[in-house]
Amino acid sequence: MKDFNLDLHLVTDRGLSCGRLLLEIVRAAVAGGISVVQLREKDCSTRDFLDLGRAVAAELKGRSVPLLINDRVDIALAIGADGVHLGQSDMPYPMARMLLGPAALIGLSVESVADALAAESLDVAYLGISPVYSTATKTDLKEPLGLAGIRDIRAISRHRLVAIGGIHAGNTRDILDAGAHGVAVVSAICSAGDPGQAAREIRRQISAAREGK
Ligand code: TZP
Ligand code: MG
């Protein structure tokens, strides 16, 4: 599995991109310093998802920003994406690994300490810990983990942790201070008036947390 920077994931949702082209948001967010793109499009035909995936992959080519596909191992394979992000009810990790091969980046959502313990033996690129805070972007979620939940998972997990759910520049530092290695956001970038500036501000908070400022 190749090394990559998991500081700041842009998780896409065209429904939240206010009519702007997703590619414009991705381009601006990359300029603002995101380090991973996770293409997460729920209301999308397979054909549209493939087209979108190819277009985003072309946009990211040569930029050292990996492209992960949410849920759809078939789409990741078809477009040669860097990997996938899987939830607890998606294809099980061992099957995805078998299909995608040893180099693929596979991220896995966990919603509890029990989920995180079950992932200890897996060669995942990171655990997505979810949701940290409640969010209007995804409603079928368990109780928010809060900062205490991040600490609890960090205490028992050997994996790198990427927090998601209700995250923006104003709470990023607390989340890193609680033990997350990176953050993933949808609306804080996709719905921002200036997605590039929004990404830049979250990145600034990540740097500040690392420097202990
Ligand atoms: N998984 C857990 S919370 C969430 C996902 C995809 C949505 C996060 O969206 P936002 O807008 O960053 O709160
Ligand atoms: Mg899923």
Q: What is the pLDDT of residues 150-168, one digit of tens each?
A: 999 999 999 999 999 999 9
Residue with the nearest Cα to atom 6 of ligand 1? 138
The residues, ordered by sequence, that sit 6+ positions from 82 with a Cβ below 8 Å of its Cβ are: 2, 4, 66, 67, 68, 104, 105
Query: Mutation test of ligand 1: which of 42, 68, 109, 137 has the most ligand atoms closer than 8 Å to its C-beta?
Result: 137
pLDDT at 141 over 90: no
For residue 171, the Cα-to-chain-centroid distance in whole angstroms is 17
pLDDT at 142: 85
pLDDT at 51: 95
Task: Tell me the mean pLDDT in the region 53-60.
Answer: 96
pLDDT at 1 over 90: no
Closest CA to 57 of 32, 76, 72, 74: 76
| 101 band by pLDDT with thresholds 50, 70 and 90 | very high
Query: Mutation test of ligand 1: which of 130, 145, 171 has the most ligand atoms closer than 8 Å to its C-beta?
Result: 130
Say how far apart CA 8 and CA 199 lie, in whole Å: 8
Centre of ligand 2 from the C-alpha of residue 27, in Å: 24
Residue type present at position 180 = A
Closest CA to 11 of 131, 104, 122, 93: 131
- 187 among annotated binding-site residues: yes
Say how far apart CA 24 and CA 18 lie, in whole Å: 12
State what percent of residues in the chain have pLDDT above 90. 88
Report pLDDT digits (tens) over 167-177. Answer: 999 999 999 99
- 88 among annotated binding-site residues: no
Centre of ligand 2 from the C-alpha of residue 208, in Å: 31
pLDDT at 33 over 90: yes
Contact between residue 79 and residue 50 where contact means Cβ atoms under 8 Å apart: yes
Report the atom number in ligand 1 closest to the C-alpha of 185: 12
Residue type present at position 47 = R
Report the atom number in ligand 1 closest to the C-alpha of 187: 11
Task: Tell me the mean pLDDT in the region 107-131.
Answer: 98
For residue 62, the Cα-to-chain-centroid distance in whole angstroms is 20
For residue 183, the Cα-to-chain-centroid distance in whole angstroms is 7
Residue with the nearest Cα to atom 11 of ligand 1? 187
